[in-house]
Amino acid sequence: MTTLKSLIQAQRHGHALAGRFYNDEAIFREDLARFVFQHWFCVGHLSQLPTRGDYRTVDIGQESLLLIRGDGEQVNGMLNVCRHRGSRLCASGFGHATGGRLVCPYHAWSYDLDGRLLAASQMAKDFRREDHGLRVLPVEVVEGLIFTTLSASPPAFDDARTVLQDCAGTYGWGRAKVAHREMYTIHANWKLAIENYMECYHCQPAHPSFTRSHLYARPAEMTAEADQAARLRSSALGIRIEDLDGYATEARPGQESVSILRSAMAEGMRTASKDGAPVAPLMGAFRDYDGNSTYFDIGPLSDFLAYPDHGMVYRFIPRSVHLTEMEVLWLVDAQAVEGRDYQIDRLTWLWSVTSAEDKKIIEWNQAGIRSDFFVPGPYSAQERYAQRFTEWYLKALGA
């Protein structure tokens, strides 16, 4: 694509992307093929598929994926597309494969839970069922989190597995459940949503509640002393999670992008709640509150945030050039009982407020970028991860 090549060559280092990267239909298709589909992304938590045969569908761009619980903790991934005439097998959302098989609603071809074709009536004598199984996708399940990819040769998952074991493992996410789920429809290009979540330069003007409770909203030079004190509290509790920068262009060769960043809570705030008070029972290795929040990212579409008593999963879902969905999951300990151990409104208050604010500012951003007269400005010191993301993206599209 000549226009894409010229756009990449014209990009100014240290500056935001030109408007066409967010508004062009053809570039959106290149985004999916060359970048999004080549990486791992989270599709949910194992607690959402509690029994054999339970499934969920996941849409991304024009593709529909099917994740289904097999034996034990096995989760199988496949395209939600029948190998006969291409019908969708399962309706969007969550469901159960009755009788342990998937049956196409169009012509009743039926498949095992691992995608093998079991039955197809009235086919020719030389028809081979083994040649017509569903397209199978790679799946990784680590500490309860389920990942898949549309790539036939994705980046290695070793670094991602280590990060998940260190972070999600310490916070007990493998023994967690989804307490609440929200879907946000954002009328903006997916890259604007990702960039917004890769920086906190916007946090003080846009997120007053988050800013009051999280020191991450402030420049790093203002929080170094508090961050150090919070790390010492963590060590005293036996919690040892180290920062790690393997994000985007800093990923190890051949490995999926990963990062860990720990940041102190404001004084008096034990967790992410309206008043800083606990909202659920302590999880994982935590026996007390350490005054920290932990952010970790895997690949370009999956962000995670952990507190001692609950966790957050953010899934970014590109749908079209100006439409992105964002699924937010709240995790608590699997033994916690709603109404006794946690209240949904208290558990979700801060990140419901913050997510609604983010939707608004991302959509304002998109409205401005649609101007023919938009000229990208330079990134600030607090936007280094957003800049790194766009450099990673441009490198992939120009490869």
Phi, psi of 75 (to 5 degrees): -120, 125
In whole angstroms, give the CA distance from residue 252 to residue 156.
10
Q: How many CA atoms lie within 13 A of 244 on its CB side?
A: 22
Q: Say how far apart CA 55 and CA 65 lie, in whole Å.
A: 10
Q: What is the CA 201 to chain-centroid distance, rounded?
A: 21
Give the three-state DSSP class for 295: strand
DSSP 214: B
CA distances from 118 to 40, 84, 103, 132, 143 (A): 29, 13, 10, 10, 32
| Phi then psi dihedrals of residue 272, to 5 deg | -85, 85
Nearest Cα to Cα of residue 191 among 39, 365, 15, 360: 365
Cβ-count burial of 349 within 10 angstroms (0-12 exposed, 13-18 middle, 19+ buried)? middle
Longest Cα–Cα distance in the chain: 75
Report helix, strand and coil shares of the chain as percent, to nearest 5.
35, 25, 40
- In 4-86, which ranges are E strands? 41-45, 54-60, 63-69, 75-79
Phi, psi of 73 (to 5 degrees): -95, 15
Inter-CA distances, 117 with 76, 84, 96, 113, 129, Å: 14, 10, 18, 10, 6
Among 359, 309, 161, 344, smallest CA distance to 246 is for 161
- Helix 2-10 and helix 384-398, axial crossing angle in degrees, nearest 10: 150
Rg (CA), the chain: 22
Superfamily designation of domain 41-139: Rieske [2Fe-2S] iron-sulphur domain (2.102.10.10)
Return all residues near 49 (Cβ < 8 A) that are at least 6 apart: 55, 56, 67, 68, 69, 75, 146
Identity of the amino acid at 285? A
Place of tokens 């101007």: 371
CA 57 – CA 136 distance, rounded (Å)? 14
Backbone region of residue 229 per phi and psi (left: phi > 0; alpha: psi in -120 to 50; beta: other values): alpha
User: Rounded to 5 degrees, what are φ and ψ at 397?
Assistant: -70, -30
- Residue 58 bridge partners (DSSP): 65
Structure tokens at 241: 């999670």
User: How is the chain split into domains, by residue range?
Assistant: 41-139, 156-398
For the domain covering 156-398, report its CATH number. 3.90.380.10
Digit-by-digit pLDDT tens for the chain (399 residues) are 568 899 999 999 999 999 999 999 999 999 999 999 999 999 999 999 999 999 999 999 999 999 999 988 899 999 999 999 999 999 889 999 999 999 999 999 999 999 999 999 999 999 999 999 999 999 999 999 999 999 999 999 999 999 999 999 999 999 999 999 999 999 999 999 999 999 999 999 999 999 999 999 988 888 889 999 999 999 999 999 999 999 999 999 999 999 999 999 999 999 999 999 999 999 999 999 999 999 999 999 999 999 999 999 999 999 999 999 999 999 999 999 999 999 999 999 999 999 999 999 999 999 999 999 999 999 999 999 999 999 999 999 998
